C-alpha cells in the first residue's frame, strides 16, 4: 500500500510512494523522491569508485554538480564562507559540488555518501537547499536540520546497507516496463592503464555522474569535481557546448575582475553570486546591464563589455576530462571540447565515424578512451 506524498509531479497531481528511504523530517513531493534516490545512488557509486566522500547537488532529476572531497579553492571559500575546511571532509565534497553551478543548485536536493557530521549540518543550515539524503546522521545533526525552513526541510536517511533492487519497474501511460537495473561495473569498463590515477578518478566520477543524468548527457570533470554538466539535450554536440559553457563560467568566476566585484549594501549572497555569474559569462540582458552599472559602477560595466579578458582567462582552463554517456557521432564534439580545456575523452565508442572522432582527438592532443559502455538514463 502506497504512502501519500505532498503531491505528484505537479501540485495538482496526487501521488503515493511505496518503500524508499526513511523520512526524518519534512514532507516530500514525488520529485523530491526522484531527486533523492538518483542522487543517493550517484554518490554511493562515486564514493565506492573514488574511495573518498562524495556529494551531489540535484535539481529536476539531474545533478547540477557532483564532487569527491578535496581542496576547496579560495573562490569557493569566499563564496560559501567556509574557511578551514579539511580536504578530506564530507563538507568539502558538497562545497565543491555546489560551487560547480551555483545558479542551478539554488534550492537543490543534497546527497552525501557518508553520515552527516555537525560541521556539514551547520553548513547546510546556511544555504538555500530543500532536502538532504545520507546514509546516517551523527548525534545532533538531525536536530540542526529539523530547525531549517521552519521544520519543512526534508531529511532522508538512505541507510548504510542500502542496495537498489536488481530489476526496475515503471508504468508509463498504461504500459508496464521492466528491465535490469544498470549495474555495469564502471571501473571494469575503463581500460586499465589508459589514464593515470588522477584522470582515472575523474573519469570514474564522470561516468557515475552521467549514469544518473538525464540523457543525452556530457560531464566535464576537473580535479575530482564535475564542473560542467550538459543534460537532457536531443543531440550530443549541444551537450558538449552546454557542459563547456558551464565549466567556462565556473573558471571565469576565478578571474580577479569577478572576485573583486563589490557587495552593495544589503545585497544577499545569492544575489551577488548571480551577478558574478552573469558578469563572468556575459549573460546579461540590456536592462540587466543598466542595473549592473548602477550597482557596481562604470569601471565594472566597461569590463563587462570587453571580451578580451574573458578569452585570455578561458584559454587557461585545462586538464579537463570529458565523459559522454553515448558515443560521439561527429568530430565537432571533439573540436568544441578542445576549446574548453579537455585533455581526455571517455566515451563508449562505436560510431560509424569513430575514426574521424579519433583523428580529431589526436589533432588536438586529447587522449581518447573507448569503454564500450553506454550509460543512458531516462
> Active-site residue numbers?
59-60, 216, 378
Cell of 170: 515503471
Alpha-carbon separation of residue 242 from 60, 216, 248 (angstroms): 17, 11, 10
In 240-338, which ranges are E strands? 320-324
Distance CA 237, CA 66 (A): 22
Please return the burial class of 36, using the count of CB atoms within 10 Å of its CB with bins 0-12, 13-18 and 19+: buried
**Are the beta carbons of 127 and 98 closer than 8 angstroms?**
yes
DSSP secondary structure, 232-263, as one string: S-SSHHHHHHHHHHHHHHHHHTTSHHHHT---
Cell of 107: 534550492
Distance CA 104, CA 95 (A): 14
Label residues 226-259 b or e (16+ Cβ within 10 Å = b).
bbbbbbbbeebbbbbbbbbebbbbbbbbbbebbe
Helix (H, G, I), strand (E, B) or coil at 300: helix
How many Cα atoms are found within 13 Å in the side-chain-facing hemisphere of 291?
A: 10
- Distance from chain centroid for Cα 68: 11
Name residue 59's beta-bridge partners: 62
Q: Give residue for cell 543550515.
A: 125
Cell of 85: 575546511
Q: What are phi and psi of 59, to 5 degrees?
A: -140, 125
Distance CA 371, CA 98 (A): 28
Amino acid at each position: 500500500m502506497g504512502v501519500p506524498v505532498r503531491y505528484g509531479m505537479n501540485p495538482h497531481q496526487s501521488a503515493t510512494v511505496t518503500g524508499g528511504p526513511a523520512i526524518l523530517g519534512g514532507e516530500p513531493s514525488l520529485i523530491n523522491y526522484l531527486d533523492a534516490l538518483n542522487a543517493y545512488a550517484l554518490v554511493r557509486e562515486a564514493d565506492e569508485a573514488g574511495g573518498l566522500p562524495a556529494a551531489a547537488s540535484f535539481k529536476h532529476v539531474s545533478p547540477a554538480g557532483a564532487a569527491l572531497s578535496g581542496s576547496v579553492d579560495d573562490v569557493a571559500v569566499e563564496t560559501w564562507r567556509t574557511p578551514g575546511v579539511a580536504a578530506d571532509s564530507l563538507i568539502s565534497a558538497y562545497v565543491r559540488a555546489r560551487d560547480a553551478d551555483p545558479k542551478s543548485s539554488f534550492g537543490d536536493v543534497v546527497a552525501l555518501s557518508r553520515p552527516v557530521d555537525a560541521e556539514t549540518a551547520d553548513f547546510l543550515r546556511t544555504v538555500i537547499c530543500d532536502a538532504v539524503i545520507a546514509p546516517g546522521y551523527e548525534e545532533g545533526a538531525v536536530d540542526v536540520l529539523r530547525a531549517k525552513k521552519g521544520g519543512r526541510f526534508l531529511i532522508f536517511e538512505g541507510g548504510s546497507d542500502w542496495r537498489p533492487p536488481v530489476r526496475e519497474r515503471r508504468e508509463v501511460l498504461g504500459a508496464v516496463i521492466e528491465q535490469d537495473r544498470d549495474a555495469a561495473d564502471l571501473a571494469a569498463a575503463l581500460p586499465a592503464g589508459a589514464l593515470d590515477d588522477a584522470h582515472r578518478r575523474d573519469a570514474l566520477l564522470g561516468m557515475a555522474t552521467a549514469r544518473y543524468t538525464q540523457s543525452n548527457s556530457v560531464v566535464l570533470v576537473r580535479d575530482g569535481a564535475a564542473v560542467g554538466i550538459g543534460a537532457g539535450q536531443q543531440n550530443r554536440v549541444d551537450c558538449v557546448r552546454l557542459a563547456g559553457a558551464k565549466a567556462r563560467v565556473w573558471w571565469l568566476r576565478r578571474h580577479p575582475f569577478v572576485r573583486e566585484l563589490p557587495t552593495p549594501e544589503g545585497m544577499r549572497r545569492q544575489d551577488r553570486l548571480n551577478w558574478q555569474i552573469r558578469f563572468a559569462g556575459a549573460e546579461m540582458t540590456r536592462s540587466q546591464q543598466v542595473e549592473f552599472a548602477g550597482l557596481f559602477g562604470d569601471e565594472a560595466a566597461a569590463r563587462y563589455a570587453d571580451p578580451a579578458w574573458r578569452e585570455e582567462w578561458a584559454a587557461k582552463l585545462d586538464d579537463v576530462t570529458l565523459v559522454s554517456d553515448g558515443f560521439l557521432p561527429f568530430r565537432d564534439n571533439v573540436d568544441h571540447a578542445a576549446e574548453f580545456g579537455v585533455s581526455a575523452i571517455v566515451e563508449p565508442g562505436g560510431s560509424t565515424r569513430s575514426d574521424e572522432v579519433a583523428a580529431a582527438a589526436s589533432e588536438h592532443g586529447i587522449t581518447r578512451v573507448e569503454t564500450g559502455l553506454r550509460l543512458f538514463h531516462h
